[in-house]
Amino acid sequence: KKKKKKKKKKKGDKDIVQLLDERGLDIGITDDQGNNIAHFAALVFNGKSTLQYLVDKYGDAFRANALARVESNLSEYDAQSQSDLQTTKRYTGGFNFDARNNNGATPAYNAAWKGQLQNLEILAGVGCNLDLGNDDGNTPLIAAAMTDQPSSIAFLLDKGCEVNQVNKGEETALYWAAYNCSTASLEVLLQRGVKIEKCDKFGNTPLLVAADHGEVKAVRILLKHNANVNHQNQIGETALMKACAEGHMECVKELVKCPQCNPDVRDDEGNSALLWTCMTGQMEVFVFLVEFWNITKEQITTLQNNDEETCIDWIVENKLERGIDVLKKLGVDVPERDESESKSKSLSQENEN
């Protein structure tokens, strides 16, 4: 009988890296995007063995030179990092586990982004700076929130990352969890002392962002944790106005159910949530709010913004039939559309363009 040939064990990524390293490969070499071996290994589950090999061989030197890292390796925007600038330099020998690629991302950032917790643990263990942001200022914590990686978020917070850290747009991890409706991440962050009213550079809170994008689950969670339903951004918009303008009915329903929700709040141009529904042609939301708030004929005829534009103006101008029906039921004498005296821009023209 012929003896069966034993199959040669296929070399894994770690074995290949080790072989190349032993044969004199520049272990810190990068591709044209500035990624080194650790950047790639951090992204995938089976990258753990490669990272462990690098740590076993170069980790001690990296730890010993932890105070010799270059200032450019820190996020310039990050106020918390500023206090470290004088004492923190870049490790210039062996292998740099904090190396940043052309977009400023570190291996730890990549691991957090992909939710590769086992890789993040290895990188944290070797002493990587877990607060380094990319060129947009997004740290590993913010990256984990962007992609809904609650386990990575919890790990980073346990390692001392600041829960309220911001990127260049002054956006927090909670902001991005709300933006993407990362519900599991929202819950973790809210349990760890995050500032629920922390605004971006335009004054938008996580609640406004969630409402603007129609993320009703995020809206519900934030309201449960007492987010300010009447908060106004830099131009006076509220979460309800955002939801009304975009026609996010489920978000509207959640917001108006909140006992603190004030229907009379105005933005900087004097527009209320109800006016926003008419300006943007969101008649389903308009009908709902008229019924929910028991709007009267007097209220609908006197409600106007700073330019004296009313719901009636917008509804008639844009021939919004559902709105016209509601006005008639309220007893409003609906005027004929007069283009020469129109105060508002036609939505139909906008749609055609």
Total domains, the chain: 1
Task: Find the DSSP H helices in the chain.
Answer: 13-22, 37-43, 48-64, 79-82, 107-114, 117-125, 140-146, 150-158, 173-179, 183-190, 206-212, 216-224, 239-246, 249-257, 273-279, 283-292, 297-302, 311-317, 321-329, 347-352
pLDDT band at 93 (very low <50, low <70, confident <90, very high): low
List the CATH number of the domain containing 51.
1.25.40.20
Residue 119 lies in domain: 12-145
Q: What is the pLDDT of residues 128-148, one digit of tens each?
A: 999 999 999 999 999 999 999
DSSP H helices in 28-104: 37-43, 48-64, 79-82
Residue 44 lies in a domain: yes
Flag whether 72 is in a domain.
Answer: yes
Distance in angstroms (rounded) separating the CA atoms of residues 156 and 170:
19
Question: Does some domain include residue 167?
Answer: no
- In this structure, are residues 254 and 286 in contact, taking their beta carbons and an 8 Å threshold? no
> Is 30 within a domain?
yes
Residue 77 pLDDT > 80, yes or no?
no
Burial status of residue 307 (CB atoms within 10 A of its CB: 0-12, 13-18, 19 or more): exposed
**Which residues are paired to 310 by β-bridges?**
304
Domain assignment of residue 272, yes or no: no
Total count of residues recorded for the chain:
353
Does residue 27 sit within a domain? yes
Position 296, amino acid? T
Q: Rounded to two decimals, what is the model's pTM?
A: 0.81
* Other beta carbons less than 10 A from residue 341's beta carbon: 9
Residue pair 128/96 in contact by the 8 Å Cβ criterion: no
The pLDDT value given to residue 27? 75
Q: Is 52 within the bounds of a domain? A: yes
344 — pLDDT class (breaks 50, 70, 90): very low
Distance CA 222, CA 216 (A): 10
Quick check: is 295 in a domain? no
